[in-house]
Chain A
């Protein structure tokens, strides 16, 4: 039965992917990409990778769809007619390359251990320690969170910096040259009354849920990445409905940039404090007299840092894009 569901979801994934390639309307492509993300998330759930599924749902189906939609409001949903594609253009080489790559990937799967087999190297080498000792060494029930935030916490630090770098990239490239914003800013969807009222009720709940995900990551799927994305989605929704000016009253550009840096710094300083207390970088055992309490404190703080940076970078990207589109916004 389960493999039947696998086949169904995977064939829907393939169909969606082909549709994305074929469809010319970029709005439809965005929606299809959101569906693709949701389908992948469902597939991950079936594979018992709940944390991954949660992230994929929040990022693939959630925030990235929102951000692409914001971009579309700048660029328009169709290709400009002036750049006519050449009719005799046949990307044969690209097709050959993609086929070869795909064939090689399939070739590579032949000697892989079967999915979920108990004696596969991934189950027998490093994982047993994570599963058996995480409870005593780190003291939180969600092993995925203890791997991400502690055993391989440095990778997660790197990933937060990746998000921060993305925010810096957007700011450096498309920040408008004038620092002062025009005073009156119309909201993207201000005329949708139903949406406004429903959202007014939903936004506080979404934010509450984000906080739940943030502080519940040690016990179930979730954590800073997902929470940050969800929090930012609520905020972006607000800005889309009630206008950038209203949103900026809550957090302005300077504050949100400050926060994006502070999240990274919070993560980094947890590591540095551990060093000052005589441990290695990010060794949470040295944060408190009791190693397990230190681990829990460390994970709480670094997840908070992740959440702050992720949420503020998403908001930065949205602010920057929207400010830009409204500045050049005669077109839409």
Chain B
């Protein structure tokens, strides 16, 4: 079975989705989906340890060898991401049955779990594959499932948000497809490793330049790089809270992964950074994203929307790391992808608990809420500290490496920008803490109880992960270092 791990990672949730439809009863579907997610998580851990011990894993689908058939290829770059997707999905699914009780009509619950499994399988498939066209196929699966999940939001504006995302996402996916098509025209292959070998022969052609431009713009649409982020705040704000938790922690990370894979592995570092002003563009947009989105976040009353803007800002940090074009920079990016998944997962789960009890997550109704929901707000507090980058949390670790990467390049103004961005996040997190902890309970505060254990347990697992990986950094820093070394050392 060990040799099939990489494909099992994807086909377990993929085949589980139609089985879920046969089960029909929503309780059964939930139990089955959660079981499947945990099974996927076990597979992803086994796969990670296999990669750490024996190096990259390659799998020939259909038994056809690489350029002719489709290859799955799992290495240090994508194995940790597979763990992140499976872990967040498992924890969120644990909480989902409770969380969607008040947010989604009963007769749609089964479809919700099916769409969830499909979305998860899509994200895992994009991450695990070594074939450029296969990326697009699984991108379609995850995107369609995501639009469905967002549209299930309680507020009718969820439909509109989902439609906006559908249009933006379809343009992004089409651009990616055009890029892949043009690459195929010039090389005759779709396999990533094969592309990497054959692209240098034709790299000085207008067609390959165009392919690169379309691919990068398309991916930036999906990862919500400023100013292509406009679909994200509405989608995250109106989606069912548990869906936001899952998407915020995983979906944009997968898009960032695709970008890194194509920039560094397929096109190659030389091509990407010498033929294009990629460094300048990513640096400018990253910094602009950090500032604009953080400032906008400060003025939000809806906390889901606030954290959504914060996600746009965090994508800015992640992209900043790529723009450094250095091994430390890319390592900081990879680390922040994982760490941001942990912190946003915890924060949005806390909000899901707030929404479960109060129906909304409006700051203006949360005066003194910490006395009513102490565990939830404590989780929010720790998640917020992690987002700011306070020592002993994961946020500190990734900010630390980002700043040192900036200083390594001698870009001290950029280092200052990173610190200034953290100050802005102090402002928007502090607003919430002040209202929830220091304002007296007013009449507008609903009389609510603490969230149920089904929400608290996964929430606190994520909070503890934020603290654990903030202190014991050898695993996350280790894998990110190895992956960054592979990207720079193992260049073909």
Contact = CB atoms under 8 A, between A and B. Distances in A.
Partners in one complex: yes
Interface of A: 104-105, 107-113, 120-127, 129-130, 150-155, 158-159, 161-162, 164-166, 168-169, 171-173, 175, 177, 179, 257-258, 260-262, 264-265, 268-269, 271-272, 274-275, 279-286
Contacts of A109: 207
Contact of A130 (B11, B68, B114): B68
21 contacts: A105-B178, A107-B210, A108-B214, A113-B185, A121-B185, A122-B184, A125-B188, A126-B67, A130-B68, A162-B140, A162-B141, A164-B118, A165-B115, A168-B21, A168-B114, A168-B118, A173-B152, A173-B159, A280-B7, A281-B4, A281-B61
Interface in B269-299: none
B15 interface: yes
B480 to A, nearest CB: 29
A332 B109 CA distance: 31
Q: Which of A109, A154, A155, A175 has the most chain B CB atoms closer than 10 A to its own CB? A: A154
A179 B63 contact: no
B63 A280 contact: yes
Contact of A121 (B125, B152, B198, B214): B198
B137 A162 contact: yes
Contacts of B11: 268, 271-272, 281
A168 B111 contact: yes
B314 interface: no
B141 A108 contact: no
Contacts of A282: 61-63
B107 interface: yes
Interface residues of B, number: 62
Contact of A169 (B133, B148, B205): B148
B105 interface: yes
B112 to A, nearest CB: 7
Nearest to B62: A282
A127 B133 CA distance: 16
B63 A279 contact: yes
Contacts of A112: 182, 185-186, 207
B22 A261 contact: yes
A177 B15 contact: no
B189 A175 contact: no
B209 interface: yes
A265 B59 contact: no
A152 B132 CA distance: 12
A312 to B, nearest CB: 11
- Chain B residues touching A, majority SS: helix
B141 A177 contact: no
B14 interface: yes
A281 B7 contact: yes
A59 to B, nearest CB: 15
The 7 closest A-B pairs by CB, nearest first: A108-B210, A125-B188, A283-B63, A121-B188, A172-B111, A261-B18, A158-B137
B448 to A, nearest CB: 28
A159 B137 contact: yes
A121 B186 CA distance: 6
A122 B188 contact: yes
A122 B214 CA distance: 20
Given A172-B115, A280-B59, A126 B137 contact: no
Nearest to A275: B4
B387 interface: no
Given A169-B144, A171-B111, A258-B21, 10 more contacts: A108-B182, A110-B207, A126-B189, A165-B148, A172-B151, A173-B159, A177-B107, A261-B19, A261-B22, A281-B11
A155 B15 contact: no
Interface in B180-226: 182, 184-189, 198, 202, 205-211, 213-214
A264 to B, nearest CB: 4
Nearest to A123: B188
A126 B114 CA distance: 36
Interface string B59-86: 1111110011110000000000000000
A165 B210 CA distance: 31
A105 B121 CA distance: 32
B68 A151 contact: yes
Contacts of B141: 158, 161-162, 165
Given A168-B115, A169-B115, A125 B187 contact: yes
B218 to A, nearest CB: 11
Contacts of B15: 264-265, 268-269, 272
A162 B144 contact: yes
Interface in B13-51: 14-15, 17-19, 21-22
Contacts of B205: 111
B147 interface: yes
